[in-house]
Structure 1
Amino acid sequence: MPDPSMNNDDYWKKAVDMLTGYVLPDRKTLFDDLKGNDGIPLMHVRMPHKGSDYQPGFVSGGGWRYDNTDYVIPFYNAPKSWASDPEPGTVLDRWWAYITILGTIGGDDRKPPSGYDNPGGNENTSEYLKDKGRYNKDGEYIKWNTRPLAQYAHGSAAALNKIAYPPYTSRGFSDRGLSVDDSAYVDLLSFTEVGRAFDRAVKFFEDGARRMKEWDGKEIGEGSDKWSGTGASLFKHLVHKLVRNYEGYTEQLRGGSSHAVDVSLDGYALSSKPARALAYAQSVIRQEAENLYMAWLAWRADSSPQAWLYGLLQQAHLELFDNQYDHVDLKTGSGRIGRMHTVAAAGFRQMITIEGKEYGPPSDLSTWKAIGEEAVRRWDHSAQEWLSTAGAQAIERINEAMRDVVKAFDGKLSDRDKQSLSEIATKEQADNERKKSEKEREDIRKQNEEEIRKNDEARKQAEKDREDARRQNEEDRREAKREQELAR
């Protein structure tokens, strides 16, 4: 089995496509149209400047659904040191990172994104968020599309459910704007129909063999009182040939296979080898569809990239205590009205870190872009680990089942009686000619014997006639002599 951890092949897509006909978008394209300003994945970030004077409670603000925004992170920034760590005593400006997470569902009081959300997927155009710069003033209004992601992360499970459980078909299935084409749907009960067709073929051969046996036992052809002639004799050979072959076909079709199921998903008992092999494949496909659906249920908690992003933003917000909030001092400005300012202390850093990894200064849009990319990467890795692994295993098991089905169909039905009707006719004609020749010879022999008999009878009659004539002559001589004697 291919090891999903060693490559980027999307076996989840391959398995879902194959099992359902619900053709998923490529996983690598899911976030192409899910970006905010400056190409930041999954979010739009605007950063208004809030002043340089000290404001109590500044760092305690922010978080989820703050100031009518999905996530807000307060941070300090040295005005002239955007990308470096300022020296202690440097006056710091107050900034906010207003983050709109794209593709969340619900109203203003919604909870943070979760894998248990059920997004429908749609195309959106913002009415106030621009696609250029940190100040939300430049460019066009952003557009994003969550439909491909929803189809991949949720539509796939709905499609698998149709195969794993009744009605065992994806025909007519449509979800989140994606439909199964009529030429691509999968109907597991069609395996039953094909299997039953083979069972009907077995019954046909069984019934045919029985009828042919009845005919084969009757007097047909030469020597029969009811049938006579070459055609009838040839028909008799044909009947005998069909008896032997139909019995052979039945035996071959009823043969066993290495894997077989005797009852289909819809409860039909199956008797032929191809039908049982198809029922086995049917059961394996259904089971693998269920296995994939169960794998999706186990992965569902991780199914939302927005939830991955939310977790990263939470961690980034918390780690700002270590990088900034705990490393500032207060300083009174000069002049009659000495305003209080926040200044950098030792250890202050203009850096967003998450789990110890540096992503860049909070004032830089490329930092938030890197965080968005990390959320996508973590989501993608999770999908590869959970879904693609399950998909690869399902594909291998189904391929094994289909190889067994192929074996059940490998051999052609072979004839027990391999003589063709032309061979039978030729042999029958030769036999008839031989018999005719023998009959002619027999007739000539009988005719000759009859002539010999007649000649013999004629010879014997001639001899009898000669004997009778001799006797008559002798009698006449004796009579004449007697008369002579009397006359003397």
Structure 2
Amino acid sequence: MDEKNVIPLTSDNDSWNKAVSLLTGYKAPERHTLFDELLGNEKIKQMKVEISKQGYVDYVDPDDFNWRVENAGFNIQNTDFVIPFYMRGGSNGHGVTMYKARITLLGNKNGDGAPVGGVVEGGEFKSQYDNHLGLTGEDAVWTTAPLTQYAYGTGRALERMLDNENGTYGWSWNGKNVANDQAVSLKSFDTAAAAFDRVGEFFSRQQKIVEEWQRRVGTEQDDAWRGQAAGVFWNLIHTIDRQYSGYAKDMGFTGTHSKQGNEIREAKDALSKAARTLQTSWAHWELYMGNPLRWLHDLLVEVTDHVWERNITQITYKVQSVARGGTRTTYHPTSLMDDTATRYGKSDNFGKLTDLSTWKAIGEMAVSHWQASVIENLVEPANAALDEIHNKWSSTNIDLGTVRTRGDDDLTSSYSEDKAAKEKADAEAAAAAAQKKNDDFIAWQKAEAEKAKAEAAKAKAEQEAKEKAAKAEQEAKEAKAKAEQEAKEKEAKAEQERKEKEAKAEQAAKEAEAEQKQAAAEAKAEQKEAQAKA
């Protein structure tokens, strides 16, 4: 992550939240509000910090890494993080004063281990101590629900929409419900497309039937039919043929699909592809960067490294003789001692280690780093996805066409009373013939619909089987990768423990040798003193 791109917490134009809401109907809390309820004393984000003055100076040998393991770092001395340090100035002959920063992390922790990523459902938690650091009432109650609803609920919503037949209808996560009128289902696109296909198929097939009727009554009207029922029927056949031909053309039916159905299917594919791309990006982010406490933990480790190199190990001492043969030891800072909070190897300098405003600045930077990871891994891909969907769904790319009625023929005619009976009989005969053909067509159409339904069900089953196999393969790969990573971490931990054990043994040897030398020197001094007295 680029240090120059640290994002301050302000009201966001959050494309990630907008994209998830558009694609799934799931509305997460606004990103700039997520840490409003995760404030410790002095409004420090994600942690409570207690600075305590120690009544002694604990001189540390620069090579004594065991001291650091026991006195500085994560999950020691019954709290989440401890950073001991010296400040210039003191009393009783000391040129330094020792302090400890005891830190309690506020958020989703991982038992005794360092904070890690991975999907968790947030909730409310309280301080186990009354009036700790002046925090009482609502200030001593925190919740991670808004944070997890944003960080993890959004990705789960994408998975639900992509992998469940009913999409996000009736779905909720960690207290956030998707309203039915906002829910999204990919199946609905197929349903709408199939409806257009059926309409296009109906007009296409009916037009062929009407063409046959027209062939039988003739393409030109017999003069003897004019003013007769036969003439009216001839006009009706030609009008229906013209209208059905126009409808079939407007629907663009190709024998299996309609123009409108294909456009809807392409729109579905664009939405599905964009959602899958976002879900993939989110899955990587939530595992490695999603928990903001990981960013805070890493910052505190960097500050601890700096304190060790430029503070704890930059103390020297003097041993002075006093009355009656005694000695006094005084402790003093070296010229390299630094009593500010700074990340090791950097020069950002958050402030004096004793100032709570310093730790507040560290909390702010941790959140800003998390925000920057959201921008890079979620917001930027969401912007690209929204642009892609917009381009695909624009009126220039989605053309449903116009289904219109051709002509304005008026089939109403006047008949005299003496021709009424004949016209009625002719009309009834024509209607009976038309009804029979229509009944035959409806029966055939039902049979074809059942056949198409069976084929669609078979295709759907085959597709679901393929998707299930692909998902199982992906999960197996992820499990293997996770196992390999855990094995590497275990091996690294064992190697570190071995090195620390060797260092401890070497230090003990050095101390024993020093004690022997000191004893010899003292004996020699006593001998000289005895000789002098003699």
Distance in structure 1 (CA, Å) of the matches to 2:28 and 2:44? 24
Q: Cα deviations across residues 251-276 of structure 1 (Å, max 9, x unaligned)?
A: 221269xxxxxxxxxxxx95001101
User: What letter matches 2:407 in structure 1?
Assistant: K
The answer as to 2:171 corresponding to 1:173 is yes
2: CA distance between counterparts of 1:47 and 1:129? 18
CA gap of 1:185–1:138, structure 2 versus 1, over 3 A, is closer
Instruction: Provide the residue aligned with 1:72 in structure 2.
Output: 82
CA separation of 1:5 and 1:194: change in aligned 2, threshold 3 A: farther
Name the residue aligned to 1:288: 274
- C-alpha deviations, 1:85-105, integer Å up to 9, x for none? xxxx86222211111111133
1:69 maps to amino acid: T
1:412 equivalenced with 2:389 (yes/no): no
Q: In structure 2, the residue corresponding to 1:127 is in which secondary structure?
A: coil
**1:450 maps to which residue?**
none
Which amino acid in the other structure matches residue 369 of structure 1? Answer: K
Aligned partners of 1:53 and 1:340 also within 8 Å? no
Is 1:344 paired with 2:345?
no
Q: How does 1:97-136 map to 2 (within 5 A)?
A: 97-107=101-111, 110-115=112-117, 117-128=118-129, 130=131, 136=133
Q: How does 1:136-215 map onto structure 2 within 5 Å?
A: 136-137=133-134, 139-140=136-137, 142-167=140-165, 169-215=167-213
State whether residues 38 and 143 of structure 2, in contact with CA within 8 Å, keep that contact through their aligned partners in structure 1: yes
Amino acid at match of 2:192: V
In structure 2, the residue matched to 1:34 is: 38
- Among 302, 306, 330, the alignment partner of 2:317 is 330
| Residue pair 2:90, 2:97 contacting (<8 A) in 1 also | no
> Is 1:54–1:340's contact at 8 Å kept on the other side of the alignment?
no
Aligned to 2:391: 400
**8 A Cα contact 1:323 1:351, kept in partner:** no
Q: Check 1:231–1:146 CA distance in 2 against 1; reply closer, same or farther (3 A cut).
A: farther
Greater Cα shift, 22-31 or 396-405: 396-405
* Aligned residue identity for 1:408: D
Conserved in 1, the CA contact under 8 Å of 2:260 and 2:399? yes
Q: Separation in 1 of the partners of 2:202 and 2:57? A: 95
User: CA 1:304/1:138 → structure 2, altered by over 3 Å: closer, same or farther?
Assistant: closer
| Normalised TM-score (structure 2) | 0.67
Distance 1:64 1:332 in 2: 34
Counterpart of 2:337, as a letter, is F
What per-residue deviation string (whole Å, max 9, x for no partner) do you get for residues 224-258 of structure 1?
99x885566344323311211211211221269xx
For residue 305 of structure 1, report the CA deviation from its aligned partner: 1.0
In structure 1, the partner of 2:373 is 382
The amino acid that maps onto 2:285 is: W
CA drift of 1:167 comes to 2.7
The 1-side partners of 2:152 and 2:72 are apart by: 31
Q: What secondary structure is seen at the aligned counterpart in 1 of 2:37?
A: coil
CA contact (8 A) 1:40 1:372 kept: yes
Q: In the superposition, relative to structure 1, how do residues 106 and 386 fare at CA in structure 2: closer, same or farther (>3 Å)?
A: closer
Letter in 2 for 1:77: M
| Alignment deviations for residues 60-113 of structure 1 (CA, whole Å, 9 cap, x no partner) | 5121100111111111124689xxxxxxx8622221111111113343xx2101
Residues 201 and 253 in structure 2, CA contact (< 8 A), matched pair in contact too: no
Q: Percent identity?
A: 30
SS in 2 for 1:46: strand
Normalised by the size of structure 1, how large is the TM-score? 0.73
1:254 and 2:245 aligned: no
Quick one: which amino acid aligns to residue 125 of structure 1? K
Q: 2:284 aligns with which of 286, 298, 305?
A: 298
Deviation at 1:204, TM superposition (A): 2.2
User: CA offset at residue 277 of structure 1?
Assistant: 0.8
What is the alpha-carbon distance in structure 1 between the residues aligned to residue 199 and residue 205 of structure 2? Answer: 10
- Which letter does structure 1 place at the counterpart of 2:115? P
Give the AA of the match of 2:335. Answer: A
Q: Is the 8 A contact 1:53 1:339 kept in 2?
A: no
Q: 1:75 to 1:53 in 2, by over 3 A?
A: closer
Contact 1:44 1:129 in 2 (8 A): no
- Which of 349, 356, 370 does residue 347 from structure 2 map onto? 356
Query: 1:297: Cα distance to partner?
Result: 2.4
Amino acid at match of 2:369: R
1:16 aligns with 2:26: no
Contact between 2:90 and 2:96, CA under 8 Å: does it hold in 1?
Answer: no
My pick for the range that moved more, 311-320 or 338-347, is 338-347
Per the alignment, do residues 13 and 30 of structure 1 end up closer, same or farther by CA in structure 2, a change over 3 Å counting?
same
Count of residue pairs brought into register by the alignment: 396
Aligned equivalents of 1:9, 1:229: Cα separation in 2: 72
Whichever residue aligns with residue 275 of structure 1, its letter is G
| Pairwise CA distance, 1:137 | 4.5
Structure 1 counterpart SS, 2:38? coil
Per the TM alignment, residue 412 of structure 1 is displaced from its structure 2 partner at its CA by 1.9
Residues 56-95 of structure 1 aligned to structure 2 (within 5 Å):
61-78=71-88, 91-95=95-99
**Contact 2:239–2:409 (CA under 8 A) maintained in structure 1:** no
Q: Greater Rg, structure 1 or structure 2?
A: 1
Q: Distance in 2 between matches of 1:404 and 1:190?
A: 20
Query: Hey, what's the Cα distance between the residues in 1 that align with 2:381 and 2:389?
Result: 12
1:239 aligns with 2:271: no
Q: Which runs of 5+ in 2 are unaligned?
A: 417-534
Q: Which amino acid aligns with 1:286?
A: S
C-alpha contact (below 8 Å) 2:110/2:116 kept by paired residues? no
How far apart, in 2, do the equivalents of 1:190 and 1:274 lie?
A: 14
Distance 2:48 2:362 in 1: 12
Q: d(CA) in 1 for partners of 2:396 and 2:175?
A: 35
Partners of 1:335 and 1:209 in 2: CA distance: 122
Q: 1:380 to 1:201 in 2, by over 3 A?
A: same
1:137, 1:8 → 2: CA distance? Answer: 32
What is the CA–CA distance in structure 2 between the aligned matches of 1:120 and 1:404, rounded to whole Å?
Answer: 41
Q: Residue 478 of structure 2 aligns with which residue?
A: none
Secondary structure of 2:350's counterpart equals strand
**Cα 1:228–1:345 shift into 2, 3 Å:** same
| Deviation of the 1:335 alpha carbon | 8.3
Question: How much is the aligned-residue C-alpha RMSD, in angstroms?
Answer: 3.4
Q: Separation in 2 of the partners of 1:363 and 1:234?
A: 101
| 8 A contact 1:196–1:270 mirrored in 2 | no
